[in-house]
A and B are shown apart, each in its own frame.
Chain A
Amino acid sequence: MTAITPTTRRRRTSALRRLNPGLRAFMPYLICIGGFLVAWQALSLVLGVARLPGPINVITETWDPYISQPFFDDGGTSKGLGWQILISLQRVALGYGLAAVIGIAIGGLLGLNRFIGKGLDPVIQVLRTVPPLAWFPISLMVFQDANSSAIFVIFITAIWPIIINTAVGIREIPQDYTNVARVLRLRKGAYIRNIVIPATVPYVFTGLRISVGLAWLAIVAAEMLKADGGIGYFIWDAYNAGGDSSSSQIILAILYVGLVGLALDRLVAWAGRVIAKGGN
């Protein structure tokens, strides 16, 4: 601290100021991500390209066809990464959609009815800690079908945070609002419409946001175990193929998985903001 004299500090700030404002906002990202890529490349040089391809190798080795043609289709399971992701998203959409509908309904019931809420709480607390893949064998046995099983795993993984958050949201409705309802003698329907739902929406969306992340985690894992197509399948398939560029393909797929997960998270957060407008 003492090393920085007033003059050096002034010079530094003026150096930053010379940049245009748009660029200045990106400086932290630019520098840190750049640093990360450089470190990765260095690590790859140390370990050898065959074991861990650096960023440059990944791009060159997968450029054709995986990056340049995301939607090629050679028949069977040989499809572009765009298709693979869409297959996975389709499964997530089904499983997560079901989880949202059923989860909110169950959560609502648990929140509104103290008796059921209390009685079922231990069950929920136990089941929600079960890792997603542990559900897979039993769902395969029940459904006898890889696709349905994957959807079920998504469903069962995603449903707990939704149930819990919905129930908590209803229980946490501020006393002030319920007092208003009691003084006005709001009828049940009007109470749910005017107070319960609006007050609970922020909680529900917190649950939905956690769930979408979990669902995306689960689908990749489930597809790696047993599936035809999907981004998880692609990763496992590339590993099994063991070609020159498989490590690069895997790394690229991982990058896509991460980006899609981020996009899903942001999408749900945005939807929550739009729906809960005036709320808390």
Chain B
Amino acid sequence: MATAFLTVDDVSQVFPLDGGGQYVALKDIDLEIAEGEFISLIGHSGCGKSTLLNLLAGLSQASSGGILINGRQVSEPGPDRMVVFQNYSLLPWQTVRQNIALAVNTVMRDASEAERRERVERNISRVGLAHAADKLPAELSGGMKQRVAIARALAIEPKLLLLDEPFGALDALTRGNLQQQLMQICQEAGVTTVMVTHDVDEALLLSDRVICLTNGPAAGIGQILKVNLPRPRQRLEVMEHPDYYRLRSELIGFLQQQRRLKQRQQAISVAAGPAEPEAEPEAEASPVATAPQKLRIGYLPGLDIAPLAMALERGFFADAGLTVLPMSFNRWQQLEEKLQLGELDLAITSATTPLALTLGLRGQPAWPAITPMTVTRNGNALCLARRFIDLDVRDLRSLAARLNGREWPVRLAIAQKGSMQELLLRHWLASGGINPERDIEFHTLSPMAMQAALLAGEIDGFIAGRYRVAKAVEAELAYVVATDHDIWRGHPEKVLTCNEGWAATHDQALLRFCAALMRGGQLCDDGGQHDGLVDLLSRPQWLGNDAAAALQRQFDLGSGQPSGQRLPLPCYHSDRAHVANGAEGAWILTQFSRWGWSSFPSNRLELLSQVYRNDLCDQALELAGFAALRPERQPIAMADGRPFDQDDPLTYLRGQPFSGAAAVDTVTLPPAAASRPLAAR
């Protein structure tokens, strides 16, 4: 936006509850509104729409964050931000004229008597109420009262007009007429307007942008919809516009998804029964009264497990009253099976796994998985066998040139089908014009077997974590052609995954686990702990002696040329690493759809807010004593220069090379109640 007239910066609103505790109405709202824009706020009742409007009006103060208008902080109500209240708020003992005059006389004290009177009359006739100027509100119909309220608001020429469900109580015919009038008036006056509504058609007819709020508590912005219908708009013409029904179904879809989420949360909280009878680990000094809770966590060896190793080593889990049993696996498939059987409580998995399990990719039954936090970001690299260096393959362009006209595909190994690594690899290849379906042969191998396969010439290269790649480079088998930085810097690599129902019944244990893991992650990112980390990971139960090499090697990338680039280390804590970010999930969904593994879910927001539990992440951060993180709304920057906007994933998807005709379909989410169908037997 060129000029931000109004800025809502990271606003949260918390209300204290009567019985102690607090209710988080709004959480981390970020919004910029340009001058003259018409914005609608839409969402289910109780989602904090009116709370946000009151904050904009200055009638209440945000618990945190700020609201700026023309660069000035809103700290109290004022006539530059006039509100049209839900129930009109006309003074019943004053006539129409007196009501408007009170506003005009109060706000425009400097104007002359005649000028003020003229302004009152002009605004009365603007809304067509000259005949009723001397009537009391009680003698007017609802529609007329609303017109008076609008006239009163416009008469004092506010910079910002705030409307709280202005037409909610009116019959359809009156509402239609008033909407049209309001639109004309706002356009003539050029006033910036924010309207709360729950009427989809009203929002589309009037707005330039529709802001969709998610369910409370802790409501946030779920989606922002631009309404690029031509102005001036006429109700009937708008409805015939080709974009109208797409926008409308998008909005209705959003509201339906929110409703289903609410029902789902209720179902889970009923199934989970009363809260766990666990003592909060508040006083660290006091011994935890209850018996330590056992948590079984699965992982595949790699640098991604450093936070787990660190937290165990430092006793963070024990401090939180948890006994954590780490279980190592060789293959991702085994780990997923054990997780689904309930033999594992938690797992450190690829960032794609929670969505893949929930969607039931590759014909598996859908299994409701969630992720409360991201464990690591970055840390991947693609290496090729050294013979490619003699073919002068040094980057994406030379690889593409080399592949062009070759008859046989390049064989690249991945650790898991549908993993984040595969998505990154495919994305990178495709951005250079290489069709991964035609030009590449993917081999799924255990990460431990990759180096041997490379040596045996069974594969031409592989994408894996720094640990594996560094070993191959060290053995002079391979060299690095691309790292995360060439694809998506800061991408989520490993996340914590567990069952949705399990998380609901073990929420306290899960939060404490996450908090301890976060503290472990912080130590791993701490340069001063580096040697300690190397020592720790070199122990046989983790990575063994090879870890030292992987961690300590500073790079020439194995290509024989000095390079400023280093093989990136995973990011464990800094740069907002822990956020469980649904926007990243949206990107993953576009890639699932791009490669034909699933259709793009039309109810993606429902799916994402069910799987990406940033609320748990926030609570765990608080428990660990870290500042809250929030997913950012700005588009995600990618190395290929095509930023990903979570509010418009389909346009992004259709603009991707080799994406084909992406199918959009509603995904049926696995039922919430069936938390562990397999283990129940």
Chain A contacts to B: CB under 8 angstroms: 176-177, 179-180, 182-187, 190, 194-195, 198-199, 276-280
**List of A residues within 8 angstroms of B83 by Cβ:** 179, 183
Interface assignment of B577: CB less than 8 Å from any CB of chain A: no
**List of B residues within 8 angstroms of A183 by Cβ:** 57, 59, 77-79, 81-83
- Which among B77, B87, B156 is the interface contact of A182 at CB below 8 angstroms? B77
Q: Determine the distance from Cα of A98 to Cα of B52 in the docked complex, in whole angstroms.
A: 48
Q: Determine the distance from Cα of A277 to Cα of B441 in the docked complex, in whole angstroms.
A: 86
Give the contact stretch, choosing among B29-37, B88-96, B361-369, B398-406: B88-96
B107 touches A184 (CB 8 A): yes
User: In the complex, how many angstroms separate the beta carbon of B495 from the nearest chain A beta carbon?
Assistant: 45
Interface assignment of B662: CB less than 8 Å from any CB of chain A: no
B89 touches A278 (CB 8 A): no
User: In the complex, how many angstroms separate the beta carbon of A194 from the nearest chain B beta carbon?
Assistant: 6
B residues 38-69 with Cβ under 8 Å of A?
Answer: 57, 59
B136: nearest residue on chain A (CB-CB)?
Answer: A278
What would 11 A/B residue contacts be, using CB atoms closer than 8 Å? A176-B87, A182-B77, A183-B81, A183-B82, A183-B83, A184-B106, A184-B156, A185-B107, A198-B94, A199-B93, A278-B137
**List of A residues within 8 angstroms of B81 by Cβ:** 183
B89 touches A176 (CB 8 A): yes
Q: Determine the distance from Cα of A56 to Cα of B612 in the docked complex, in whole angstroms.
A: 90
**List of A residues within 8 angstroms of B94 by Cβ:** 194, 198, 278
A184 touches B136 (CB 8 A): no
Q: With contacts A180-B91, A182-B59 known, what are 13 further pairs, Cβ within 8 A? A: A176-B87, A176-B89, A183-B78, A183-B79, A184-B79, A184-B102, A184-B156, A194-B94, A194-B102, A198-B93, A278-B94, A278-B136, A279-B92
B89 touches A179 (CB 8 A): yes
Interchain residue pairs A-B with the least CB separation, the first 8? A176-B89, A198-B93, A278-B93, A278-B136, A182-B77, A183-B77, A184-B106, A279-B93
User: In the complex, how many angstroms separate the beta carbon of A197 from the nearest chain B beta carbon?
Assistant: 9
A278 touches B106 (CB 8 A): no
Interface of A is mostly: helix
A280 touches B92 (CB 8 A): yes
Q: Determine the distance from Cα of A182 to Cα of B81 in the docked complex, in whole angstroms.
A: 11
Q: Determine the distance from Cα of A278 to Cα of B76 in the docked complex, in whole angstroms.
A: 31
B residues 431-477 with Cβ under 8 Å of A?
Answer: none
**List of A residues within 8 angstroms of B103 by Cβ:** 184
Q: Determine the distance from Cα of A183 to Cα of B57 in the docked complex, in whole angstroms.
A: 8
Assess A198 versus B91: contact at CB under 8 Å? Given A183-B77, A186-B106, A278-B138: yes
B92 touches A180 (CB 8 A): no
A177 touches B91 (CB 8 A): yes
**List of B residues within 8 angstroms of A276 by Cβ:** 93
Interface assignment of B85: CB less than 8 Å from any CB of chain A: yes
Q: Determine the distance from Cα of A144 to Cα of B339 in the docked complex, in whole angstroms.
A: 93
Q: Determine the distance from Cα of A202 to Cα of B81 in the docked complex, in whole angstroms.
A: 32
User: In the complex, how many angstroms separate the beta carbon of B331 from the nearest chain A beta carbon?
Assistant: 62
Assess A185 versus B93: contact at CB under 8 Å? Given A176-B87, A179-B59, A278-B136: no
Q: Determine the distance from Cα of A280 to Cα of B93 in the docked complex, in whole angstroms.
A: 8
A176 touches B85 (CB 8 A): yes
**List of B residues within 8 angstroms of A278 by Cβ:** 92-94, 136-138
**List of A residues within 8 angstroms of B89 by Cβ:** 176-177, 179-180
Assess A185 versus B85: contact at CB under 8 Å? Given A190-B106, A278-B138: no
Residue of B92, B103, B137 with most chain A CB atoms under a 10 A cut-off: B92
User: In the complex, how many angstroms separate the beta carbon of A200 from the nearest chain B beta carbon?
Assistant: 11
**List of B residues within 8 angstroms of A184 by Cβ:** 79, 102-103, 106-107, 156
Q: Determine the distance from Cα of A23 to Cα of B85 in the docked complex, in whole angstroms.
A: 50
A187: nearest residue on chain B (CB-CB)?
Answer: B106
User: In the complex, how many angstroms separate the beta carbon of B653 from the nearest chain A beta carbon?
Assistant: 45
- Which among A179, A190, A194 is the interface contact of B85 at CB below 8 angstroms? A179
A276: nearest residue on chain B (CB-CB)?
Answer: B93
Q: Determine the distance from Cα of A190 to Cα of B57 in the docked complex, in whole angstroms.
A: 21
